[in-house]
Structure formats: C-alpha cells, structure tokens
Amino acid sequence: MARLMAEVASRRPLVVTLENLQWAEDTLLDFVEQLDDHVGPVPLLIVVTARPELLHRRPAWGGGKHNATIITLDPLPDGPIDELLAAMMVRYGIWPKQRPAGALRDQVAYELGHAVRTRIGGNPLFALQYVRLRQHHHHAVNPWLAATLHIDSAGPVDSDDELVPVPQAVHNIIAAQLDTLSSKQKAILQDAAVLGDTVHEDLITLLSGRDPDEVARCLRYLDRRGFLTRVHDSEHTAYVFQHLLVRDIAYSQMSRVARAEKHYRCAVLLEGRVDSALSAHHLRRANMLAAAAGISMSDLLRRIGGTNAGITPDGPGITSEWATSSRG
C-alpha cells in the first residue's frame, strides 16, 4: 500500500483521509505512523481524524515526526453551530430556503426543541444526526419508526425535558465511548451525572465513598478523555460535562433504584451546604424514581441505611424536608 501511494503521489499531489482512527487496530496505527519513512519526498498529505482515545492508546502519537501537526478541535460556538443546523435544515428539505441569520437561534430551537439544541453541544456529528431525525419526522408517514431512543434526563426535575430524544447513532457512539472506561471511572462519571451540571470534587468523594486521591485521579482522567472539563472555582475543584448527552446517557445507564439512592444521598449531603431548593430537587427526583421502580420510600431508606452507615432512614432534618418536597 505504501508503494502504491508513493507511485500515485509521484505523478500528482495525493491526499489520503483516515477517519475515526481511535478504533483502528495497532497494525494500521503502526502503518500510518511509519508511512512517511516509506514513501519518500513526494507531495502526499495524510489527514487523520480521531477522538482523544487515540492519544490514550498512543500518548506519543505524531510526536517528533517530520512535518506532522496535531490540531485539537473544540466544540463549535453557538453562532456557527446554528448556521450549520440551518444549512442542513435546507439541505434535507425541512426548510425551503435559508433563513435570515439574525433569528437563527430561535428558529433552530423552535424546529428542534430547546432541549435538543442545548444537547447538540457544538458537535457537528450530533447536529447532523438530529437534523436527519427531524427530517424523518418531517417527511415520514409514521414518524415513530425513526431510530430514536428516549432516555431519562439528568436535568432539573421540574423541566419540560424529563425524557430526552437521542438518535440511535449518537447513543451508540457515546455508549461505546463510556464502555472504554473502567468500572471505577464509569461509576465516578455516573455520580457526576446525578450531581448535575457543575460537579465539585469534594461532593463526588462523599457521594461515591471512595478515597479522595482516587476520585481526583479519575476526574482528571475523565477531563483528559473529553467527558468532563475542569472549570475555575475559587473554593473547590469543579468540573462540568463537555456534552449534556454524555451526562444523560451515563445517567440513563443506571437502574432507577440506583439513581433514587444516589439522589437521596445527594439531598442529605447538600442539606445546609447550599440553597435548600437544590436539596429539595434531589429529594423529589428520588421520590419519583422510587415510585417508578415500584418500591416504597421506607424500602429505599432501609436500602440506603444498610449500604451507607452515614445515612439512616431517621436522619435528622430529613423527614420534614422530605414531606415538604414531596408535596411540591
């Protein structure tokens, strides 16, 4: 193959593109890394796309190679992603023509839904899949045949997006990425999903019951892998999810009972530390999930008391707060 590419490039400039190289076998990775040593000085450009998992497998990928450049692409800002969504709306026949740029955000949000637009998170691949999903609903005789999953949202319990539509292709991509994590790393990410949008390291440590150094290492690793992003916080080490769909899919992979237990633990941990509304949010979510799982609250509290000595069904300050939040 190297000889063929060198022969073609010697006659005219050649561009070779390899996508999703993070899934490639080691043999192909070795071939690509050593290709410049075999083809010689010919006009050949090799463009490789990969997720951060490639650098996890090959930390020195591209390092020290002659005429090699690595470019890291961040998620697209709101303006460009709205322009991309609008262009695809026209391309796939959902809109008859391009709309004026001034009101693109509102128009895209109206067409796709605010929850969907925020969960695209600047990712062009996710944008494409959601537009294709919208195309199916726009043109299909039976829109329910679209390859869509509706998963539980990890967002506010009082919002309108308790169930989030996710194209099957996007779900498969994210689920496959989550499967590359160790059980410990995935558990930390799921605890983060329960806590919400901004995740403080000390709360993750308390919720998980793990060693603080172990939690810190896992969070740094999840940051390097692109699942979380560290943010500036004057008091605590904090992280946010790079994409809300990663948060929601990690959250949905836990059973309802497990989520109910974790939300109740969050309510106890947050009581007195932050605005009481946040603690009440977790209590309501625990109540809803326990009911959906078909277990009583007394059974849930007994499970929690049996698995965590720091929390008991008769814990101080919990009973009255529970009654108040449940009525809300």
Q: Is the pLDDT of residue 322 over 60?
A: no
| Whole-number pLDDT of residue 325 | 37
Mean pLDDT of 24-50: 86
Tokens 């009101």 sit on residue? 103
- Do the beta carbons of residue 222 and residue 230 sit within 8 Å? no
CA distance 252 to 189: 12
* pTM of the shown model: 0.79
Strands 238-241 and 228-231: antiparallel
Provide the percentage of residues in the chain whose pLDDT is more than 70: 86
| Helices vs. strands in the chain: H and E counts, helices first | 16, 7
**Each residue of 196-207: pLDDT tens digit?**
878 889 999 999
Q: Is the pLDDT of residue 190 over 50?
A: yes
Can you name the residues that pair with 150 across neighbouring β-strands? 165
Number of Cβ within 10 Å of residue 92's Cβ equals: 16
Phi, psi dihedral angles at 107 (to 5 degrees): -70, -45
Confidence of residue 318 (pLDDT cuts 50, 70, 90): very low
Q: How far is residue 129 CA from its own chain's centroid? A: 15
CA distances from 165 to 75, 162, 320 (A): 21, 10, 36
pLDDT of 320 strictly over 70: no
pLDDT band at 307 (very low <50, low <70, confident <90, very high): very low
Hey, what domains does the chain have and what are their CATH numbers? 2-57 (no CATH), 78-174 (no CATH), 180-327 (1.10.10)
CA distance 69 to 261: 47
Residue 299 has pLDDT above 70, yes or no: yes
Residue 308 has pLDDT above 70, yes or no: no
Question: In the numeric block, which tokens belong to residue 196?
Answer: 């919400």
Return the closest-CA partner of residue 126 out of 161, 200, 67, 177. Answer: 177
Q: Cα dihedral angle (73, 76, 80, 83), rounded to 10 degrees?
A: 110
In this prediction, residues 298-317 reach a mean pLDDT of: 57
Average pLDDT over the chain, rounded to an integer:
83
Residue 6 to residue 44: CA distance in whole angstroms: 8
The first and second tokens of residue 309, run together, are 């000595």
Picking from 132, 217, 127, the residue whose alpha carbon sits closest to that of residue 181 is 217
When mean pLDDT is compared across 153-162, 167-176, 303-312, the lowest value belongs to: 303-312
What does the alpha-carbon distance between residue 267 and residue 326 come to, in Å, rounded to a whole number? 13
Long-range contacts of 193-198 (CB under 8 A, 24+ apart): 193/154, 193/241, 193/247, 193/248, 193/250, 193/251, 194/154, 194/251, 194/259, 194/262, 194/263, 194/266, 195/266, 196/154, 196/278, 197/240, 197/241, 197/247, 198/231, 198/238, 198/239, 198/240
Distance CA 176, CA 164 (A): 19
Q: Yes or no: say if 205 and 194 are a contact pair by the CB < 8 Å rule.
A: no
Confidence of residue 327 (pLDDT cuts 50, 70, 90): very low
